[in-house]
Amino acid sequence: MYSACAVTLVALDTIIVLAYLLTYLLSKDRTVDVDDISMPDGTYASNTGKILQFLMDTNFPGNTKLINIQDNSSCRASKEDWQMAKKIVTEERVEWAISLSAPIESPGLDEICSALLQKGLSIILSQLVTLFRACIALGYIRHQWRTARVVFLPKPGHIDYTQVKAFRPISLTSFFIKTVERLIDRYITNGTLVRSPLNKNQHAYLAGKSTDTALHN
């Protein structure tokens, strides 16, 4: 009886995730053909690769293509490093950090979506804790996690999509690095800054403060 109920619950969760995904797909703007983008010389690009390179050069001047990047880390961690990592990364905090992602968020280069991590968390939780502690103790993040997948989206409300400025880039990173960032941010916010608050005149990077509060301080 218990097994049947568990299977039913898993099936319902899957249906909910699929419903979210379907809603997301149906709510997207109309498809825009990138082959219609005008190049600087007034002509139209002959292939998609050339257009994507033009989009990259416009939005990220000076970008270069990296090929065959190898992770050859020789980092070493001290006892104190591991102790700090254990304070930052716990099973409860990893569960919390992963739960913050919506099931339909787009993944990074590793193609591992948040729904996959959330549904399989009970199976891989201990391994994730070990992995994230090692990242923090060693002070090292794998290249694949640090590399973003850039996607160009048409800006809503534009009539003319032949201009490169009608598109905006978004950088999609791995949910693994997002989880590590959330764990570190929580430790700093709820631990370090509680014990050692910032100066009251600090306005940058603080919730509820901005350039406006700095000007009127």
pLDDT of 125-152, one tens digit each?
999 999 999 999 999 988 888 888 888 8
CB environment 100-111: b (16+ within 10 A), e (fewer): ebebbeebbebe
- Closest alpha carbon to 115 in 15, 8, 6: 15
Kindly state the tokens that stand for 38: 């005008």
pLDDT at 85: 96
Predicted confidence (pLDDT) at residue 83 exceeds the cutoff of 70: yes
Res 96: pLDDT: 97
Would you call 208 helix, strand, or coil by DSSP?
Answer: coil
pLDDT at 82: 96
How far, in Å, CA of 175 to CA of 27, rounded?
23
Confidence of residue 1 (pLDDT cuts 50, 70, 90): very low
Highest mean pLDDT (candidates 13-22, 25-34, 194-203): 194-203
198-215 burial: b if 16+ Cβ within 10 Å, else e? eeeeebeeeeebeeeeee
Return the amino acid letter for 47: N
Q: In residues, how long is the chain? A: 217
0.85 exceeded by pTM:
no
pLDDT at residue number 53: 82
Q: How many C-beta atoms lie closer than 10 Å to residue 96's C-beta?
A: 14
Cα–Cα distance measured from residue 108 to residue 77, given in angstroms and rounded to the nearest whole number: 28
* Biggest CA pair distance of the chain: 70
Contacts of 167 (CB under 8 A, 6+ apart): 55, 152, 153, 154, 155, 161
* Residue 51: pLDDT band with limits 50, 70, 90: confident
**Mean pLDDT, residues 81-110:** 93
What whole-number distance in Å separates Cα of residue 31 and Cα of residue 109? 23
C-alpha 8/C-alpha 52 separation (Å) is: 45
